[in-house]
Amino acid sequence: MVEVSHRFCCSALKQFLKNKIMDTTSQLKVIDCGFTILRVDDYPNIRIKYKDEDHKDWCTLEVFPTKSARDKAFKELLAQPHFIQD
C-alpha cells in the first residue's frame, strides 16, 4: 500500500465532494487512501462494480436478479466506512 498523508486523503475527498465528479485520477487518489469505490450497473446484467487497491479497473462485485436486490445490497455496503459511491 502506498503511504499517503491524512491531509492528502481529505483534500482528494473534499475535491470530489465539491465537484461531485470523480475522474480516473481522482479515483486512484481515493483508492490509495484505502477506500473502495462502488458503482451500480444495469448492462450487461444487474450488478455492483468496484475498484480497489488490487483492482484499478472496474470489476464485478456481485450480480443480482433484480434492481431492488442490488440497490439494497449497495445501500448496505455504503454504510461501511471504507466504501464510497462513484
User: What is the model's pTM?
Assistant: 0.77
Count: domains in the chain:
1
79 within some domain: yes
Sign of CA dihedral 64, 70, 73, 77: positive
13 is a domain residue: yes
Residue ranges making up the domain that contains 16: 6-85
pLDDT tier, 35 (very low <50, low <70, confident <90, very high otherwise): very high
Encode pLDDT of 51-70 as tens digits: 999 999 999 999 999 999 99
| Residue at 1 is within a domain | no
Q: What are the residues facing 84 on neighbouring strands?
A: 37
Higher-confidence residue: 54 or 5? 54
pLDDT at 22: 81
Residue 64 lies in a domain: yes
26 vs 4, more confident:
26
